[in-house]
Each structure stands twice: as C-alpha cells, then as structure tokens.
Amino acid sequence: MLAYFLKRLLYTIPIALGVTLISFILVYIAPGDPLNAIAPPDATADVIAALKTQYGLDRPLPVRYGLWLMRAVQGDLGASIASGRPVASEVGAAVGNTLVLAGVAALVGVLMGCVLGALAGYDAGGVVDRIATVLSVVGVSVPHYWLGLVLTIVFSVKLGWLPAMGAGPGGSAEWTWDIEHLRHLVLPAATLAVIPMGIVTRTVRALVAETLQQEFVVALRARGLGSVAIFRHVAWNASPTVLAVAGLQVGYLMGGSILVETVFAWPGTGFLLNTAIFQRDIPLLQGIILVLCLFFVALNLVVDLVQPLIDPRMARA
Amino acid sequence: MTDPDATPIAGLPTLPLDRPRLTIAKRAGRHGIASRLLRDPVAIVSGLVLIAIVGSACAAPWLGLDDPYRTSMLRRLMPVGSPGHLLGTDELGRDMAARLILGGRASLLLGVMPVAIAFFVGTSIGLFAGYVGGRINMAIMRTLDVFYAFPSVLLAVAIAGALGPGMNNSIIALTLVFVPQVVRVAESVTTQVRKLDYIDAARMSGAGALSIIRVHVLGNVLGPVFVYATGLVSVCLILGSGLSFLGLGVKPPEPEWGLMLNTLRSAIYREPWVAALPGVMIFATSIAFNLLADSVRSAMDVRR
C-alpha cells in the first residue's frame, strides 16, 4: 500500500511538469510575435532588442521554459497584457468563484446521479430504470450552454423568479454565502449539474445492477440481512468507481464551466478566460490554463489515493 | 480496396488457414450488424433524424430556401410561425430556417471532422505503440498521459484560444483533444491482440510486422476503436459548437449553430424561442448520434 502511494505521488511529478510545458508552449503556438503586444508600433530596432533582452526573448526556448517555470513555482505568472496586473492575483480571485459554482454543481449532480442510478439499478428493466436511462442520455447529449439559455428564458425571462446574470446583486464579483448570492447561483449550478448527473447515473446504475446479481448478495440475503444492510454492502462496493468517476467529473466541471460562466456572466475563470482570448492576453490565458490543470492533476491524485483506502485491491493492480 | 490475399507475406507461401476465414467472418459480421441495427427501433429513428439533418444541410442550395445572408432591418426578430419565415428571423432579419439548415454544414463538420482525423491518426499511433510494445510504447503512452491531465473543454479552448479564431484552428484543437483518447483505446486492444497465439504463428511463418498488423491486428482493433469514436462525435459536436459559441470557431456572418446561439443571446427577452432554436438543432443531432452510437455498440457486441 505504501509503495503504491509513493509510486502514485512520484508519477504526479512528470505529469505536472508536462502540464506546465504545454501551458508554456501555448504562448508560442499563438500567431504573431509576442513582442508586438509589448512594444509600441513605432519602436526602433534598438528598443526592440532591449525589450527582447529584458523579457528574455533572446534566449533559447528551453532556458526560457526553465526561467518561466522557476517564477511560476514561486507564484509569479507574469503580468496580464490587457490590465497590467499580476496574472496570479487575477486568476486567484476568479478561481474562488469557479470553485463555488463547480463545487455546488458537482455536489448536486453527483448526489442526484447516485440516487437516480441506485433506484434504476434496483429496478433494472423497470419504469424507473427507463426514466433514469432517458435522463442520463439527455444529460450527456445536451449542449449545456444551450440548457443554460433555456433555463434563463424559463426562470428569468418568463417567470421572473431568478436573476439571469452575475454572481450577486449589482454585478458583484465577490462571493458570499447569503441568500441574494445563492439566488444567483441556482441557474448556473443547475445547468452545470446536469453533466455529472448523466454520467454518474449511468455508472451507478450499471454498478448496482451488477452487484445485486453477485453471489455474495444472495449469501447475505440467505443469512437473513435486511434490505438496508444489503444496500450498505452494495453501496460500499460501488463507491470506489463512483468516487473515480465523480472526481473526474469535478475536474471536467472546472473546465466545462467556461461555457456556462459565459452564458451567466459568472465572474469565474471561464469568464476570465473568455476575456483573455478576446483581448489576445496570452499570459493570462496561460496562467488560467496552468492553474486549472494543476488543480485537475491534484484532484486525480486525491481520487487515486483515496480509492485504495476503500478497496485495497486497487493498490495491488 | 485491394484483395489482401494478393499480397505475398515476406516471401514465404502464406498459410491458407486463417486469412480466407477472416474475410468470411468479417463479411458475416458486417451483415449481422446491419440487420441487427435495422431491427432496433431506436437506431432507425436516430438514423432517420441524422439523415434528415445531414441531408438537408448538404442539399440546402436546392431546397428553395430564403437567402441566409440577406439582412433586413424591417424583418428583425420575427416570431416562430410568421408567414414566409416559418421559424422566424434572427437579430439581423435573416431567415432562421435557411440559417439553421445551412448552419448544419459547419456544425456537422466541426463534430465529425476532428473525430475522423483523430480516428486515423490515433489508430495509427495506437497500433504502432501497442505492436512495438516495450519502452517505445511506455514513452508514447506516458507522453499522452499529459494530455489526459487536461479537461477536454479546457484543452480545446486553450489551443483554439492560442491559435486564434477560425474553423481550421477549431478543428485542429478538437483533433488534439481526441487523438490521445483514441490512441489509448487502440493501444490497449492492440496489446491484447498481440499476445494471442495466432500472431506468434504468423510471425513464425515469416510474416513481416506490417503484414501482421494489416492482416491480423487491424481487423480486430478497428471495431472497438470505431465504436469508441462514434461515441465521441456527439461530444465533439457539442464542444465544436461550444467553441463557436465562445467566438472561437466559425466567423460571422457564416451560419453555424453555436455562433447563432451566441449572436441571438441578446434577443432572449424579445423572441426567446427563436433564440433557443439553434440549440435545439445541436441537441437533436447530438442525442441522435449518442443513441445511434449506443445501438452500434450493442449490435457489435458479439457476446449478446
């Protein structure tokens, strides 16, 4: 078990390095000279050369990657071209808002998926199973940015129950847990929750239906265990896989919220990323991608470390 | 296609044992899949929906539709069911029906093209990695693990965002998202097949690596990878239209479902149902692809 933990921890290092490398390369696949964004259009050759030295652009790529990585590790992701503020602080502010949205959406989606999936698994082939199957197909097929739009039309435009834009009254970008802010959270979180719900429903349904067929369940029943006690066994059996799927989904939500945040003008990383793309603010783009991906890597690590605690067989594989 | 029996394998006379049998099995298998699909009502309905959408998008110029580019300030945002404009008009007074049908071209291209390219590239890399095995396989698969560390939406947006807006850049970004996933499936199937006895037999009979891959491995790998790829189309369609929705894909005034959703967003207070229409097209197409992929998967599942 310890060997597995160590191996998994060490394995994270090259992956994290790879992520930084890809984020670094993003700047260089962008068309146009990065100098154009810094230098004034009428700059002389001398000024351009001086700027090149100042930004280290005259050095070979591997050296630049090394320098960039060293600064990034210290929390310095450079300055945004559009606003001139440090990328790290801009991303930091937005990450909090995205975490609130993605976290709540994941919680709701995974819980609903588990309940629906378990009900469907117990009712394999029955009415509940069919309803759950339809819901999960809809959940994975629906373009969530469009779903957000439809929910806005129904609940804000037609019924006027919930606000359509922003994270708080008056376009507030600071998140607090009060009723006004929560009202703003309902629509984007519901929209986002549909994605994990579909996939988790599918997974749980298959797992529960399969586990219920196994001989040990028959043995438990023969020993006179009630349905609640049997359900606990089934749930414990399904939990490692559900955990893995749910963990991946939370990570995807961090990325997937880009589109939903744009629909609802939610002041998170997705919204910031959108601005970065349109202002051709590549350092900001780079910073957001790096932070979100490292988050995803860490999340995968946590899932892989927790899984064998539930099912020790996972560590031996 | 050339006859596989016509190619000699590494100078030696070929064993007549397994190749003719393989082709017969393949034909029977295909026939079985087609007939099983035709007996599946879900497959028929979703197939018909797809044929209608793809067919109308292809035949758009001959359907006698309104000019999808002609704007008019007088006919802006007409509701669904207006005379002459059955599905209303958009924020610039262009006919929605014509734009929805023609818009299918770009959206479908964005959904199918990256998966098709990823299918060819990914299968090739996966076959190579799986067949060669050992350290080279390790190196390829561990490199691709890095791409797995990116949530797919984020990777697509990052690459498309860095490359800049445009149809080609979106297709490149989406292809890069799907290649590692296809490689993983192709590699794992190839690794399994490579260990089977008949591959050793073929090698002992003097067959070269390329012939073994082409004749003995490819047929086994293509099926599972194809099933996997069909499931990716709906994801790719949603992602591709999503890129356009963000303004990263197709450029206006070109009609495309995601882009139309975006430009009509400001109209949700005046004509909400017209504004939601492009999403209905994305949804219908993606659910049809998903259901068809499910049907193909169970039809190809020989165990049942």
- Residues A161-211: tens digit of each pLDDT: 877 777 666 656 677 777 777 777 888 888 888 888 888 898 888 888 888
For residue B5, the model assigns a pLDDT of 41
Nearest to A143 among B150, B279, B289 (CB): B279
Average pLDDT over residues A123-152: 86
pLDDT band at B172 (very low <50, low <70, confident <90, very high): very high
pLDDT-based confidence at residue B87 (cuts at 50, 70, 90)? confident
Residue B58 has a pLDDT of 85
Task: Give the distance between the most distant pair of CA atoms in chain B.
Answer: 78
Answer yes or no: are the C-beta atoms of B285 and B88 closer than 8 Å: no
Asked if A27 lies within 8 A of B154 by C-beta distance, the reply is: no
Other C-beta atoms closer than 10 Å to the C-beta of B164 total 14
Query: CB distance B150–A296 less than 8 Å?
Result: yes
Q: For A47-68, how does the pLDDT look when each residue is reduced to its tens digit (9 = 90+)?
A: 777 777 776 677 777 888 888 8
User: Using one digit for the tens of pLDDT, what is the confidence trace for A239-274?
Assistant: 888 888 888 888 788 777 888 888 888 888 888 888
State the DSSP code for B249.
S
Q: A191 with A151: CB under 8 angstroms?
A: yes
**Inter-chain CB proximity A146 and B275 less than 8 Å:** no
CB contact under 8 A, B290 and A157: no
ipTM of the complex: 0.81
Q: Is residue B89 classed as helix, strand or coil in its secondary structure?
A: strand
Count of CB pairs separated by less than 8 Å, A with B: 143
Q: Which amino acid type is present at position B208? A: G
> What's the helix, strand, coil split of chain A in %, to 5?
80, 0, 20
- Across the interface, whether the CB atoms of A15 and B286 are under 8 A apart is answered no
Sequence-ordered list of residues with C-beta below 8 angstroms from that of A120, at least 6 positions apart, any chain: A128, A129, A131, A132, A133, A201, A204, A205, A208, A209
Interface test with A, best of B45, B148, B246 (most A CBs within 10 A): B246
Residues of chain A with pLDDT > 90, as a percent, come to: 1
Distance CA(B221)–CA(B202), nearest Å, equals 17
The pLDDT tens digits of the residues spanning B243-287 come to: 998 888 888 888 889 888 888 888 777 778 888 888 899 999 999
Kindly list the residues from chain B whose CB atom is less than 8 angstroms away from the CB atom of residue A300: 149
Please choose, from the candidates B120, B133, B121, B119, the residue with its C-alpha nearest in 3D space to the C-alpha of residue B191: B133
Which H helix or E strand runs over A219? helix A215-222
Alpha-carbon Rg for chain A in angstroms: 24
What contacts B267, CB < 8 A, 6 or more positions away? B77, B90, B91, B274, B275
User: Cα(A21)–Cα(B180) distance, rounded to whole angstroms?
Assistant: 17
Q: Which residue of A has its CA nearest to B272?
A: A153
Among A289-298, B43-52, B115-124, top mean pLDDT goes to B115-124
Classify residue A188 by burial, with Cβ atoms within 10 Å: 0-12, 13-18, 19+. buried
In chain A, which residue's Cα lies nearest the Cα of B142?
A15
Q: What pLDDT is attached to residue A35? A: 65
Structure tokens at B4: 């596989």
Task: Tell me which residue of A273, A239, A283, A278 sits closest to A84, measured CA to CA.
Answer: A283
Residue of A nearest to B145 (CA): A15
Task: Nearest by CB to B151, from A31, A254, A274: name it.
Answer: A254
SS3 of residue B111 by DSSP: helix
* DSSP category for residue B78: P
Q: How far is A54 from chain B (nearest CA, A)?
A: 23
Element spanning B168, H or E: helix B167-194
**B304 pLDDT more than 80:** no
For the purposes of burial, counting CB atoms within 10 Å of the CB of A203, is it exposed (0-12), middle (13-18) or buried (19 or more)? buried
* Other CB atoms within 10 Å distance of the CB of residue B292: 24
- Chain A residues close to B275, C-beta within 8 Å: 149, 153
Distance from CA of A25 to the nearest CA of B (A): 10
Which residues in chain B are closer than 8 Å to A254, comparing Cβ atoms? 151, 154
Q: What is the pTM of this model?
A: 0.82
The stretch A146-151 carries a mean pLDDT of 89
CB B275 within 8 A of CB A125: no
Rounded CA-CA distance B129/A191 in Å is 40
Looking at chain B, which residue has its C-alpha nearest residue A149? Answer: B276
Confidence at A34, pLDDT banded by 50, 70, 90: low
- Whether the per-residue pLDDT at B113 is higher than 90: the answer is yes
Amino acid at B81: G
Task: Say what percent of chain B tops pLDDT 90.
Answer: 17
Task: Please tell me which residue of chain A has the smallest CA distance to B238.
Answer: A143
Contact A87, A78 (CB under 8 A): yes
